[in-house]
């Protein structure tokens, strides 16, 4: 059994992932990592023959990828070797001997009130184009859906993948809440939203026919659940029309978190609402919110302004 090849071991690892009910996104990331690692090896080696040097050379072969991507590769390989060690297919996890890349902390830039207004306006109408020499535009048929999505993400901080997984039955419009069934790490939670957001979701659902509880809450043009890539493309397109760079779903999560703290929300409740298992990311939001408070105090301080 110890001499099985890498590809055979991958099949067993995939069965284990299915049995553990890992999220589809996690399994997709792991499978992608294992596929490109198998291609790097060039031959289907017995797993005991694969060494930490193979892993080091694999990670070093990518000169243009971000550290975050390389860290994902390291995590995926380590997960498989942990499983193989437990199954006694290998003696130890060789990936632990390889120093993991340190992911760069991306700068968090929340959207402003004016940004949100511009995006909502841009979602309503197409780019200006010319027909018979005249500049025209038209109203976009997906506006009701896109507006409801934007407001829900801004109002709850829900992740893109979580939003795409929502079903109609997860919506409680009477009490203005959504039920996130499987967040990152399978953390279920109930998130409140504003009556205004609930009204816009109701208006969107009113445009659909024969809506059932088990239907996706947000659907594409071909009546399938929204996908993260389509969601990102929708925001990117609206951002381009509005003249706002780098608009992506996660910026609405950042914006929700910063505004929540600015408006008096406490950090531990925010951690629960965001579905974070640790406090590290919330600390970043706290730091940004504190910077805002310091700047406001500098402008508003009576001692400084009255020159006492």
Alpha carbon distance 213, 47 (integer Å): 47
Instruction: Please indicate whether residue 159 is annotated as part of the active site.
Output: yes
Asked if residue 188 lies in contact with residue 180, where contact means CB atoms within 8 angstroms, the answer is yes
Catalytic residue among 184, 228, 248, 262: 184
Instruction: Please indicate whether residue 253 is annotated as part of the active site.
Output: yes
Which residue reads 């009556």 in tokens? 195
Total Cβ atoms within 10 A of residue 151: 22
Instruction: Please indicate whether residue 107 is annotated as part of the active site.
Output: no
Cα 245 to chain center, whole Å? Answer: 18
The torsion angles phi and psi of 16, rounded to 5 degrees, stand at -65, -40
User: SS3 of 167, please?
Assistant: strand
User: SS3 of 177, please?
Assistant: strand
Catalytic residue among 181, 182, 228, 250: 250
Give Cα separations from 304 to 112, 289, 297, 299, 307 (angstroms): 28, 22, 10, 8, 5
Instruction: Please indicate whether residue 54 is annotated as part of the active site.
Output: no
Catalytic residue among 54, 145, 253, 254: 253
Asked if residue 261 lies in contact with residue 270, where contact means CB atoms within 8 angstroms, the answer is yes
Catalytic residue among 54, 145, 147, 159: 159
Catalytic residue among 182, 189, 248, 276: 276
Most distant CA pair in the chain: distance in Å? 81
Instruction: Please indicate whether residue 276 is annotated as part of the active site.
Output: yes
Structure tokens at 96: 């632990």
Instruction: Return the CA Rg of the chain.
Output: 24
Residues in Cβ contact with 270 at an 8 Å cutoff, skipping those fewer than 6 apart? 257, 260, 261, 282, 285
Question: 129-131 and 134-136: which strand pairing?
Answer: antiparallel
Instruction: Please indicate whether residue 32 is annotated as part of the active site.
Output: no
Alpha carbon distance 145, 123 (integer Å): 10
Q: Hey, which residues are catalytic here?
A: 159, 184, 250, 253, 276, 285
């Amino acid at each position: 059994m110890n001499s099985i090849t890498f590809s055979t071991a991958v099949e067993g690892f995939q069965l284990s992932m299915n049995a553990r009910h890992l999220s589809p996104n996690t399994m997709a990331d792991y499978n992608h990592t294992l596929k490109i690692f198998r291609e790097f090896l060039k031959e289907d080696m017995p797993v005991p023959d694969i060494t930490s040097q193979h892993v080091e050379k694999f990670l070093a072969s990518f000169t243009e990828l971000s550290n975050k991507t390389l860290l994902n590769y390291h995590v995926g390989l380590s997960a498989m070797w942990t499983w193989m060690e437990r199954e006694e297919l290998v003696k130890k996890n060789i990936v632990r001997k390889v120093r993991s890349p340190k992911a760069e902390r991306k700068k968090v830039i929340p959207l402003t009130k004016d940004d949100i207004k511009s995006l909502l306006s841009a979602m309503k109408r197409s780019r200006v184009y010319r027909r018979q020499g005249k500049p025209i535009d038209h109203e976009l048929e997906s506006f009701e859906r896109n507006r409801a999505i934007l407001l829900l993400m801004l109002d709850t901080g829900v992740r893109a993948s979580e939003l795409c997984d929502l079903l109609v039955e997860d919506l409680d419009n009477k009490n203005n809440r959504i039920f996130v069934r499987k967040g990152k790490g399978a953390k279920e939670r109930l998130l409140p939203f504003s009556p205004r957001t609930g009204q816009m979701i109701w208006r969107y659902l009113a445009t659909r026919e024969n809506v059932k509880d088990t239907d996706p809450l947000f659907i594409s043009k071909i009546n399938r659940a929204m996908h993260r890539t389509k969601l990102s493309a929708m925001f990117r397109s609206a951002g381009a029309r509005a003249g706002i760079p780098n608009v992506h779903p996660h910026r609405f999560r950042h914006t929700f978190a910063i505004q929540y703290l600015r408006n008096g929300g406490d950090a531990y409740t925010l951690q629960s609402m965001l579905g974070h298992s640790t406090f590290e990311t919330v600390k970043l939001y706290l730091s940004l919110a504190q910077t805002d408070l310091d700047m406001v105090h500098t402008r508003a301080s009576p001692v400084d302004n009255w020159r006492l």
